[in-house]
Amino acid sequence: MTPGLPIATGSCGNLESGGCPSPRSTFSGSRIKQIRSTADLAIHGAPPAFDQPVHVGRPNLGDREAFLRYAGEIYDRRWLTNDGPLVRELERRLAEYLGVRHCVAMCNGTIALEIAIRALGLEGEVIVPSYTFIATAHALHWQAITPVFADIDPAIHTLDPDAVRRMITPKTSGIIGVHLWGRAAPVEALQAIADQHGLQLMFDAAHAFGCSHNGQMIGGFGRAEVFSFHATKSFNSLEGGAVVTNDGELAEAMRLMRNFGFAGFDNVIHPGTNGKMVEICAAMGLVNLDDFDNTVAINRRNHAVYRELLSEIPGISVRDYDHTERNNYHYIVVEVGPDFPVSRDRMVEALHAENILARRYFWPGCHRMKPYRDLFPHAGLLLPNTERIAERVLLLPNGSGLPDGAIAVIGEVMRVLANG
């Protein structure tokens, strides 16, 4: 899909209904009411708007027949894992799509983070945002590395370079930037800091598949970038992940590390673990890669409908995308301002009562989760922006499995709450 151009009409459902289901969606839940006043809210005793849960991240699925053909080939070959032909094909196509030299597919994004961290030789302390999924911090702590939490820029929710500088100590060995909501972290500023202090720089790109920064696809920044292909991501491989890099030696080390360090039969030449992607996951990845433009078109249309319905509600803001860049439009990020009549958490309760499972992201911040809240009990004093944003943000459902009418219901709930 060409960035900045309008999507083709007919790629989604009716704009007025707020629905955007894929032709391959199997969601069977139905909307059973409209919400006009507080008496219609399920949180006040009315029946829920949907008879099945509407999740924030229901999987996007490509062509069923194509997936079954791949599954048949796997079955016939009896080659289920250990660097199979579909894994190699997926790696080749992903590297080409992202414009990088090397793609090393993994069993999941967390193992991909851990292997990249180890391959880069990180140790001591590594600076990360607290406003991220807990796996970013755990991947360090799991390897006896201390995650040092730096604050975020409240305008873009990614690492604040000035905060990063303040957290550097003689023990610091690296920085892990996180591209959040498909928006790039401050790549150039973080690279300048890393170069000045002799630090390794890598990126957690779990949110940013199919996105670009200054016209360059995310994937080629820092020493390496890590993607998650979990089922809830815009692009999924059932379960999976990858590290992409332009560094050939680093890629070769990671290929060894994901397979116990084996280089041929009975020849272990490197410490390693089991991080291999299996063939059936690669099959789903190939199918969903073929369908990715359609997924992005659906996400983009949904995002436009959300903005139209919610933009006139005081105290509610929907985070926009930079339309000069490529985006996956996967994350519908809403900030509930202090002037809204009810709290963000009360809004979440109201939506959950309607069977719409909106999520608080990333609440309460890694620094307030175990073990980090015990290790760094006063970290919040250095993270005022993180704490404020974590109390205001919620994510709303999106994707090809979104049922017809869900966006309209969400708009009705927020409008009723706003009016008291």
Domain 64-290: give its CATH architecture.
3-Layer(aba) Sandwich (3.40)
Domain range summary for the chain, segments of one domain joined by +: 38-59+292-358+397-419, 64-290
* Dihedral sign (CA 388, 389, 392, 394): negative
Task: Give the residue, 25 or 349, on which the prediction is more confident.
Answer: 349
Q: How far apart are the C-alpha atoms of 316 and 391, rounded to whole Å?
A: 14
- pLDDT at residue 26 greater than cutoff 80: no
Q: Is residue 162 very low, low, confident or very high in pLDDT (cuts 50, 70, 90)?
A: very high
Transcribe 274-302 into DSSP letters: B-PPPHHHHHHHHHHHHTHHHHHHHHHHH
- Residue written as token pair 């140790």: 123
Question: Which of 21-25, 42-46, 153-157, 284-288 has the least mean pLDDT?
Answer: 21-25
**Residue 420: predicted pLDDT:** 82
Q: Is residue 89 very low, low, confident or very high in pLDDT (cuts 50, 70, 90)?
A: very high
CB-based contact 193:175 (threshold 8 Å): yes
Entry field: residues in the chain: 420
Closest CA to 236 of 312, 313, 330: 330
Q: Is residue 7 very low, low, confident or very high in pLDDT (cuts 50, 70, 90)?
A: very low
Angstrom CA distances, 202 to 117, 205, 315, stand at: 8, 9, 36
Cross-strand pairs, 213 = 216
- CATH of region 38-59+292-358+397-419, choose from 3.40.50.2000, 3.90.1150.10, 1.10.260.40, 3.40.50.720: 3.90.1150.10
Predicted TM-score (pTM) of this structure: 0.92
**Residue 68: predicted pLDDT:** 98
Residue percentage of the chain with pLDDT more than 70: 93
Closest CA to 116 of 255, 220, 210, 238: 255
- Opening angle at CA 389, ends 386 and 390, nearest 5: 80
Contacts of 199 (CB under 8 A, 6+ apart): 168, 172, 173, 174, 175, 193
99-133 pLDDT, tens digit each: 999 999 999 999 999 999 999 999 999 999 999 99
Closest CA to 201 of 153, 157, 248, 168: 168
Angstrom CA distances, 297 to 9, 10, 229, 329, stand at: 10, 10, 19, 8
Same fold: 38-59+292-358+397-419 with 64-290: no
**Residue 396: predicted pLDDT:** 98
What does R_g of the chain's alpha carbons equal in angstroms? 22
Mean pLDDT of 329-351: 97
Mean pLDDT of 320-329: 96
**Residue 29: predicted pLDDT:** 58
Q: How far apart are the C-alpha atoms of 283 and 88, rounded to whole Å?
A: 11
- pLDDT at residue 288 greater than cutoff 90: yes
Output the six-digit token pair for 393: 């943000």
CB-based contact 386:85 (threshold 8 Å): no
| Three-state SS at 177 | strand
| Three-state SS at 408 | helix
Q: How far apart are the C-alpha atoms of 125 and 117, rounded to whole Å?
A: 12
